[in-house]
Amino acid sequence: MAYEKGLHELASGCYAYLQPDGSWGWNNAGLICDGEASLLVDTLFDTRLTAQMLTTMRDAVPAAKSIGTVVNTHANGDHCWGNQLVRDAQIIASRRGAAEMSELPPSLMVKLDKVARLSMRLGGLGKGLGWVAGKLGVELLEAVVEAAPFVVEIFGDFQFEGIELVLPTRTFDDQLSLTVGDKRVELIEVGPAHTKGDVIVHVPDDRVVYCGDILFIGGHPIVWEGPVANWIAACERIEAMDVDAIVPGHGPLTDKAGVRRVREYLSYVHDQARQRYDAGMGVFEAARDIALTDYAEWGEAERIVVNVDTLYREFSGAAPRKSAVPCFAAMARYAGKSRSQINA
């Protein structure tokens, strides 16, 4: 099936909504219908994009005119920040996923975006910028400034103003069975992996599975949470399913060979990071040193920095990171898009 923006039918009553090119923030969603019943798998990064998606779905599928259930596969904003447009539905997520949604609210992204844009205009750590950042409640100013060009580049097309964080109304642990009309739908918690509470959505009779960000196809996965072993196990679980259509969180539709490639990448990065951790290399040095030749065609290679950092924390037993802001600064440096490199 062509990787084109819009709604694609996978089986009778099962659809994928794709957003090329699948890079930062450009996620996929899903629609499951039977009779007049409907379930939406994920919303999009902002209300403008979510409204476009809902209009497309409602024009094509009568049951989508009234969404009865929404499943958020995980807490990242590009999979749940459009929830306010379907707030009358029952919104479901894993218990851990729902709890994580409050850790990075849309209001913080608005603040980060403002400070990033202002730092690019002012060009430095001036007193004015520090004062503004303080008033906005943005910490780690130096990291924000370093990451500013990168943050604006990857998130500049999204409109975060006016987004209201609408949290799930129902949560679960491990597994939850639902029906959409007469269709059986299985929600399976496979996190923590990409985030703290990742969920995949399986429609057994239609041989379809919606994988959220357990699958990035054509782009490097990013391990915000780990452990990586859980993510590898999630891939193995998908590979063992009797499915024909596999919908990733980002990128084109795939098959089990695509799932295997993601699993192999995670194993490779784990083993390469372990060697460098044991040799005493620092995180950024190790990320730079790991050859990505076999994945050279994949986008967002800068995510290797976060993946190595997460693995190092796993190896050492260190506490989870308190903020993602330094990660964006490090990724900007890796990609050659930090202020210091642009000004060099």
Is pLDDT above 80 for 122? no
Is residue 238 in some structural domain? yes
Is pLDDT above 90 for 147? no
Q: Do residue 193 and residue 69 come from a single domain?
A: yes
Share of the chain above pLDDT 70, in %: 92
Q: Of the ranges 29-38, 118-127, 214-223, which one carries the lowest mean pLDDT score?
A: 118-127
DSSP state of 12: T
Task: Please tell me the predicted confidence (pLDDT) of residue 112.
Answer: 79
Is pLDDT above 80 for 11? yes
Q: Do residue 339 and residue 292 come from a single domain?
A: yes
Is residue 25 in some structural domain? yes
Does residue 265 contact residue 301 with C-beta atoms inside 8 Å? no
- Residue predicted with more confidence, 258 or 325: 258
- Residue predicted with more confidence, 150 or 341: 150
Domain count, the chain: 3
- Residue predicted with more confidence, 130 or 122: 122
- What does the H/E/C string look like for 300-341? CHHHHHHHHHHHHHHHHCCCCCCCCHHHHHHHHHHHCCCHHH
Q: Do residue 79 and residue 203 come from a single domain?
A: yes
Is residue 209 in some structural domain? yes
Is residue 224 in some structural domain? yes
Q: Do residue 80 and residue 192 come from a single domain?
A: yes
Task: Please tell me the predicted confidence (pLDDT) of residue 146.
Answer: 80
Is residue 56 in some structural domain? yes
Q: What is the CATH number of the domain that holds 249?
A: 3.60.15.10
Contacts of 267 (CB under 8 A, 6+ apart): 232
Is pLDDT above 80 for 101? yes
Task: Please tell me the predicted confidence (pLDDT) of residue 342.
Answer: 45
- Left if phi > 0, otherwise alpha if psi is -120 to 50, otherwise beta: which for 109? alpha
Q: Do residue 67 and residue 37 come from a single domain?
A: yes
Q: Do residue 141 and residue 271 come from a single domain?
A: no
Q: How far apart are CA 88 and CA 107, in angstroms?
A: 22
Q: Do residue 288 and residue 334 come from a single domain?
A: yes
Is residue 254 in some structural domain? yes
Q: Do residue 228 and residue 301 come from a single domain?
A: no
Task: Please tell me the predicted confidence (pLDDT) of residue 298.
Answer: 98
Q: Do residue 117 and residue 39 come from a single domain?
A: no
Q: Do residue 186 and residue 146 come from a single domain?
A: no
Domain-terminating residue out of 216, 232, 263: 263
Is pLDDT above 50 for 127? no
pLDDT in tens, 271-282: 999 999 999 999
Share of the chain above pLDDT 90, in %: 81
Is residue 201 in some structural domain? yes
Q: Do residue 188 and residue 333 come from a single domain?
A: no
Q: Do residue 35 and residue 91 come from a single domain?
A: yes
Domain-terminating residue out of 263, 293, 323: 263
- Residue predicted with more confidence, 93 or 136: 93
Residues 48-67 have a mean pLDDT of 98
Is residue 1 in some structural domain? no
Domain-terminating residue out of 114, 131, 153: 153
Residues 285-304 have a mean pLDDT of 97
Domain span at 123: 106-153
Is pLDDT above 90 for 247? yes
Q: How far apart are CA 50 and CA 76, in angstroms?
A: 15
Residues 168-178 have a mean pLDDT of 98
